[in-house]
Structure 1
Amino acid sequence: MEKYKKYARTSLALAIMSIITPSVSANHLLQNEQGYEEIVPELRAFSELAQQVRYFYPSNAVANSDWDSFLRDSFKVLRDTPSEQRVDKGIELIQAIAPYVQRNVIHLPSVENDESVNVWIQSGASTNHIYFRDLTTGTFQELTQFPYFTQQTYFASTYQGQDIYIPLYLPIDSALLGTAYQAGNPYNLVTNMTGTETCMAAVSSMWAEIQHFWPYFAHVDVNWSQTHLPLFNACIGARNEFEYKVNEQFSLLGDNHVWINYPEEIVPFKHYKLPFTLSYIDEKALVVNRTDFLSLQVELGDELISIDGQTIDYWLDYYKGRTLKAGLTEKEQSLNLLTRYTDSRLVNMVFRKSSGEEYGVTSATVHYKVTGPYKGQGVVPHYSELVRYHENGVAQLMAYNVTVNNLPDVKRLLEKASAIVIDFRHYPTSFQGWKQLFAWLLSTEAKSGTLDFRYQMMPDQTKKFDYTFRQTITPEGAGVNIPLVALSSRSSISQNEHALMFLQDANIPILGVPTAGINGDIVYSHKFGGYQQGGISYIYTGMSARQTNGEALIGVGVLPDMYAPRTAKSIENQEDNQLIQGISYLKKQL
């Protein structure tokens, strides 16, 4: 029994992180062999059954099969099968790998208490960073003593109106039956995402990972089952709509970690940019950074009101629900997409100054390698120092720059501080760095919000086990014993939010705006070699997180005690108004 306890201990070494990659866009048409339009609902049903078997049927053949290639090839076989034989053919294809997928429950092998059986133990769709997926063996009686193994011996599913039974435990001898499916491309299909079958297999497998392993369905109002068919249909439509049709479905999750990298064959990379960046501030698209490629008439803080004859409101509406992001993060991403292009071209724009004066500018897009340095603070100013002093001995501590190695320098630099602004508006450099910093700063023990490391047992997520825990930072001494305030921003995401919750639990006030609203370690996944090899790559959140008070974090974020957004005036004047307000607050505490 000791060997199974290692799975509970695995979750004690979690690290929270987020990696975001650039977006891309699309043109031209997907390859589309005729004959798929009418049978897409049948292919969806087949794929849903196959994905249940893929993740929950406990056999060596299932574990060793190339399921994405199996789906791709099976779609071709099913398309070429007469309609009246298609259901039987689908079951036959699956039974070649998993012979005990049965239409009658009496045909399932019996499972005795003292019998050695196979079962999946899994916290993710694959062994991936902190997540694992293992086919394990033990007696049924032994295994079911642990909370991460179901008591049920099978799962009742349906396929095209027929009852189907999938064993969740298999006696060892039974688990050896079936033949693993290996990729050999017997039908000479296109193996990148421009191929209809490859595309459908890829997006369906992406859908299935979310369906079976995404942990936030209890927090987000989304009917994920209804998104599967539109994903299939995206593969038989116009290529210039593909990216947005897929993004529309994954945007419904409201998971600000979600990112999808498409292959250039379908979505050409956007290597060209307008020579400025925008941010959505005071309900305006404001220039927050610019390069020397831009007309000197355009100044930081100017509002972009139209581009190529269309207003900013038009573009925000155009991208709405298509950016993979939620909340204000969605508008930020929309403005980011608006400034990126696949080629060099002239773009006509109209700007407005704070005085109300409007003027037109024509600018060329510039390749990202030659844009040159940006000038401006951006929506969230970034400071390269560790510590910067302000009036009355108030120190600004750039917590996002702290590492284990430079922590001694931080402590030395803060020796004369009368109060500290803990600037945590950017993603941190070092997880261990800020944790050790907090252990030195804080005078009381502080806990994170709750985190759930989930074990999935059933295809419908009705049976799961959450290993719920809170991380603790214990003070290493008496703390600094001076006034503190922390800064948050809309860019504070994931590990930022995790850190801010420790400060929140320690009753250190937070000044700024609600954070991005997503925490929990992420999953990286790739289909058909990933986007660099003609496949597709994507990221989603694999572990759920809550606020320190137990309420939902996703879609809400860490809420500040003192609301202090960036303003149009502060951008125009190049003033860090959040820092100014933080310093003002601390001066009153002295």
Structure 2
Amino acid sequence: MKALSVILILSVHSAMLSAQPVADSTDYNLNFEKLAQNKKLPEKWMQWGTGYSLSVDTTQKFDGKSSLRIKSSDQKTDGSFGSAANTIPAVYEGKEIELRGYVKLDRVENGWAGLMLRVDGASGMLQFDNMQKENVSGTSDWKQYSVKLPYSRDAKKIHVGALLTGTGSMWIDHFELLIDGRPFTDAPLKALSAVELDKEFVQGSKVTFGELSSKIIKDMTEVGMLWGFLKYYHPAVASGNYNWDFELFRILPKILNAKTEAEKQREIYQWVQKLGAVSIDRPTEGQTGTVKYKPDLAWINALGYDRELLSKLDSVKRAARPQEHYYVGLVPNVLNPIFKNENPYATMAYPDAGYRLLTLFRYWNMIEYFFPYKSLIGEDWRGVLAEFVPKFIGASNETEFKLATLALIARVNDTHANVYNYDRALDNYFGNNYAAVETGFIENKAVVVNYFNQKLGLKSGLKIGDVIETIDGKTIEQITGEKLPYTPASNYPTQLRNLARDLLRTNDTLLSVGYRRNDVSDKTDVAAYDRKKINFYANHTKRDTCFKLIGPDVAYLYPGTIKGSYLPRIAPDLLKTKGLIIDMRCYPSDFIVYSLSEYLLPKPEPFVKFTAGSLSTPGQFTVGPDLSAGKINPGYYKGRIIIMVNESTLSQSEFSTMAFSTAPNVTIIGSTTAGADGNVSQIVLPSGITTGISGIGVYYPDGRETQRVGIVPDVEIKPTILGIAAGRDELLEKAIGMINSK
């Protein structure tokens, strides 16, 4: 997924509502004619993004009285965008949705302009297109564009609009929204589902706990596992016949009030019985062949249930399930899970005990049945559930609840897993202000490696290469120990990478920093600023070019700013060199895995295979065929290739490295990569918490794993403190030396 798309996705997620939308209007001002009172924007329209101005323009219009202009400003930063957006409730039936609109451009450069259409479900984005692939730019008169997307029954909101990146201006006018080829207001209204009609617990779960005993913790752990098993295995739940969140709140008091084991089992039996009979169509053992992992449901038999209840649960295990599941699907072609119809309950900043348990059970079971790397977590996942039951029940305020959630997310050991959305409670806990100093862990020490803001960084009194020893009286070891449990990542080096940015973070305006420079220790007070003054990504987007020659015979390629369309122009100069350095210490700005491989390989080579989950047998993962990169190409690149990697090499960077490494005469140098490969599946939790996981398993053709392990370099080399202080790029120096030594 493109980085800009992610920014746009996250910027609107917090505006999602949990309630069923209603068609309270049919006029959404799609022709921009109505101006909102006391506002510069047309009625119904809002601004997304930063660094761009939006205004009504009565001099430039396709028809009517006015259009809407989006214009870049001097305040825009790299990676920013400007967007006009309008949100329409998805209360209509249909199969396909289309946005049409007229666009005029004036000197749009170093970016693109496009219509934006996004369809959201209760859990987040279902479909999205912003015309980035069309790369519309330059100067042009009014022209109609169109974006079409599949339209799901699970849709809750439709976001329409336009987006501008780079510099210049765009005007938009005369929008039309169509469902199945006709105006959306003419489409039939959707009927409310059984889940949406169940409103009993919208104001609270009504679940309360007294003193927590070991029995209550054991019973709640058991219920959490049973609730998740029935959610994903019972066909009645899969069909959307029950609001499964609210069914949890109905069973919890019954389990808590059960006086004996027999009474508890009777309540569980009646719970399952209520869901109805099932049809059996599969053997207990499940499928064989290409299956890599089978679901482990032996715990059901280990609970000590009587024969009648075990028989009932066994029938659910072997039941025929519908092809489409209400709460989870698989993304077409890719097959990573998409968790849908999960109510975020975004207005509950600090939910009650029942909803807090729902948070734990929802997340735990998503991992249990649909995380392809559950076997690599490194500990008993069921033990984690039992450990966190009292933490979620006992969380006495919003901060404790959010920290418990963050700590739970960290236990899956996946760099793709974190809290994505802005969270006020977590920010207040960790600190809202940041120093303008970028730190990193070099030689196992916290070191100043750069400035987020050059002027403010120099003003701090810290210099690049300084070793930070204490912050506000605490040693780095103490701070690291406190923050590591709340720092999700696949491996320790990547945890340190993530933790480094939060070292100089506070709610105060000053940090007392003890540091060592030239073997002399000293202290200074370092100013801390609001995040709006600190651009954390400044040093990741400042490369002046994606391709250059380092001397006449060595080429340097930086995928962080490349576009696939550049490759044909780059190729003639590249092919003349004796060595190529590919700097994968970044996230690629474009997907060049296959296009660049065609220049590097003489013939197709297998480099990867994937595992995918199952809707018919949740918890099962099957292995797909090997995929190859490259083509028959006698004129392939015959020089030496050095690929540089480190803990910033993440996801698509790791996937790209796997492909490029199959070329002849390749050496990978650097250090452990982020160890998170596979398309991200988004998860929403109560209180509007947004997170995610690596949704498909990524393996080398011989079965070697990349998750947590990362890309293992052929030659390990890491930056040194002396090198950082001197402003040297020691990996790049090593790469150049390796090429020139041949």
Counterpart residue number, 1:411: 571
2:630 and 2:366 mapped to 1: Cα distance? 33
- 2:222 is equivalent to residue 41 of structure 1: no
Q: Residues 523-543 of structure 1, C-alpha deviation per residue, up to 9 Å, x if partnerless? A: 111134xxxxx3322111221
Of 266-275 and 477-486, more deviation after overlay is shown by 266-275
Of 407-416 and 296-305, more deviation after overlay is shown by 407-416
Counterpart residue number, 2:534: 371
Deviation at 1:302, TM superposition (A): 0.7
Deviation at 1:574, TM superposition (A): 1.1
Alignment check: 8 A CA contact 1:347 1:362 kept: yes
Counterpart residue number, 1:131: none
Aligned partner of 2:498 among 333, 341, 358: 333
- 2:247 is equivalent to residue 83 of structure 1: no
2:597 and 2:265 mapped to 1: Cα distance? 60
- 2:684 is equivalent to residue 526 of structure 1: yes
2:700 and 2:287 mapped to 1: Cα distance? 32
Of 519-528 and 406-415, more deviation after overlay is shown by 406-415
Counterpart residue number, 1:252: 411
Q: Residues 283-319 of structure 1, C-alpha deviation per residue, up to 9 Å, x if partnerless? A: 1101112233343531111111000101111111222
Counterpart residue number, 2:669: 511
Structure 2 residue matching 1:505: 3-state secondary structure = coil
Deviation at 1:439, TM superposition (A): 0.8
Alignment check: 8 A CA contact 1:456 1:465 kept: no
Pair 383,490 (structure 1): closer, same or farther in 2 beyond 3 Å = same
Of 285-294 and 157-166, more deviation after overlay is shown by 157-166
What does residue range 33-72 of structure 1 map to in structure 2 within 5 Å? 33-35=208-210, 37-38=212-213, 39-59=216-236, 62-72=239-249
Counterpart residue number, 2:134: none
Pair 259,468 (structure 1): closer, same or farther in 2 beyond 3 Å = farther
Deviation at 1:155, TM superposition (A): 8.8
Aligned partner of 1:481 among 622, 635, 638: 638
Deviation at 1:279, TM superposition (A): 0.4
Counterpart residue number, 1:222: 379
Q: Which amino acid aligns with 2:544?
A: S
Counterpart residue number, 1:204: 361
1:482 and 1:465 mapped to 2: Cα distance? 38
2:663 and 2:402 mapped to 1: Cα distance? 44
Counterpart residue number, 1:545: 698
Q: Which amino acid aligns with 2:586?
A: H
Q: Which amino acid aligns with 1:99?
A: G
1:435 and 1:369 mapped to 2: Cα distance? 38
1:575 and 1:359 mapped to 2: Cα distance? 25
1:588 and 1:340 mapped to 2: Cα distance? 44
Pair 350,82 (structure 1): closer, same or farther in 2 beyond 3 Å = same
Counterpart residue number, 2:525: 362
Pair 77,277 (structure 1): closer, same or farther in 2 beyond 3 Å = farther
Pair 344,413 (structure 1): closer, same or farther in 2 beyond 3 Å = farther
Pair 155,147 (structure 1): closer, same or farther in 2 beyond 3 Å = farther
Aligned partner of 2:648 among 491, 494, 512: 491
Q: Which amino acid aligns with 2:671?
A: V
- 2:548 is equivalent to residue 388 of structure 1: yes
- 2:434 is equivalent to residue 273 of structure 1: yes
Alignment check: 8 A CA contact 1:526 1:538 kept: yes
Give the unaligned 5+ runs of structure 2: 12-205, 325-340
Aligned partner of 2:735 among 560, 571, 582: 582
2:346 and 2:627 mapped to 1: Cα distance? 49
Counterpart residue number, 1:157: 300
Alignment check: 8 A CA contact 2:671 2:718 kept: yes
Higher relative contact order (CA 8 A, sep 6+): 1
Counterpart residue number, 1:93: 271
Q: Residues 372-399 of structure 1, C-alpha deviation per residue, up to 9 Å, x if partnerless? A: 6888x68xx9623021222243121113
Give the unaligned 5+ runs of structure 1: 1-13, 23-30, 101-108, 112-116, 120-139, 176-181, 529-533
Structure 2 residue matching 1:414: 3-state secondary structure = helix
Deviation at 1:407, TM superposition (A): 2.3
Q: Residues 427-452 of structure 1, C-alpha deviation per residue, up to 9 Å, x if partnerless? A: 11112x34202212322433223322
Structure 1 residue matching 2:502: 3-state secondary structure = helix
Pair 487,74 (structure 1): closer, same or farther in 2 beyond 3 Å = same
Aligned partner of 1:467 among 612, 624, 629: 624
- 2:486 is equivalent to residue 322 of structure 1: yes
Counterpart residue number, 1:400: 560
Q: Which amino acid aligns with 1:311?
A: T
2:690 and 2:437 mapped to 1: Cα distance? 28
What does residue range 131-146 of structure 1 map to in structure 2 within 5 Å? none
Q: Residues 327-359 of structure 1, C-alpha deviation per residue, up to 9 Å, x if partnerless? A: 211122222232334x34321111111x11112
Q: Residues 73-104 of structure 1, C-alpha deviation per residue, up to 9 Å, x if partnerless? A: 5435654x3534444334433433x234xxxx
Structure 1 residue matching 2:440: 3-state secondary structure = strand
Counterpart residue number, 1:569: 722
Counterpart residue number, 1:420: 580
Structure 2 residue matching 1:449: 3-state secondary structure = strand
Alignment check: 8 A CA contact 1:400 1:428 kept: yes
Pair 200,220 (structure 1): closer, same or farther in 2 beyond 3 Å = closer
1:340 and 1:546 mapped to 2: Cα distance? 37
2:4 and 2:302 mapped to 1: Cα distance? 39
Structure 2 residue matching 1:254: 3-state secondary structure = coil
Pair 168,160 (structure 1): closer, same or farther in 2 beyond 3 Å = closer
Pair 277,94 (structure 1): closer, same or farther in 2 beyond 3 Å = farther
Alignment check: 8 A CA contact 1:50 1:94 kept: no
1:156 and 1:416 mapped to 2: Cα distance? 62
Q: Residues 145-174 of structure 1, C-alpha deviation per residue, up to 9 Å, x if partnerless? A: 9988x999x99935963143242455799x
TM-score, normalised to structure 1, is 0.75
Deviation at 1:18, TM superposition (A): 12
Counterpart residue number, 1:303: 467
Q: Which amino acid aligns with 2:503?
A: L
Deviation at 1:16, TM superposition (A): 13
Alignment check: 8 A CA contact 2:603 2:633 kept: no
2:663 and 2:230 mapped to 1: Cα distance? 47
Q: Residues 82-127 of structure 1, C-alpha deviation per residue, up to 9 Å, x if partnerless? A: 534444334433433x234xxxxxxxx674xxxxx6x8xxxxxxxx
- 2:611 is equivalent to residue 452 of structure 1: yes
Counterpart residue number, 1:10: none
Q: Which amino acid aligns with 1:385?
A: T
Q: Residues 38-57 of structure 1, C-alpha deviation per residue, up to 9 Å, x if partnerless? A: 43432221221121111112
Pair 258,228 (structure 1): closer, same or farther in 2 beyond 3 Å = same
Identity %: 18
Counterpart residue number, 2:70: none
Structure 2 residue matching 1:206: 3-state secondary structure = helix
Structure 1 residue matching 2:419: 3-state secondary structure = strand
- 2:467 is equivalent to residue 285 of structure 1: no
Q: Residues 394-432 of structure 1, C-alpha deviation per residue, up to 9 Å, x if partnerless? A: 12111333222222332255365342211222111112x
1:18 and 1:226 mapped to 2: Cα distance? 37
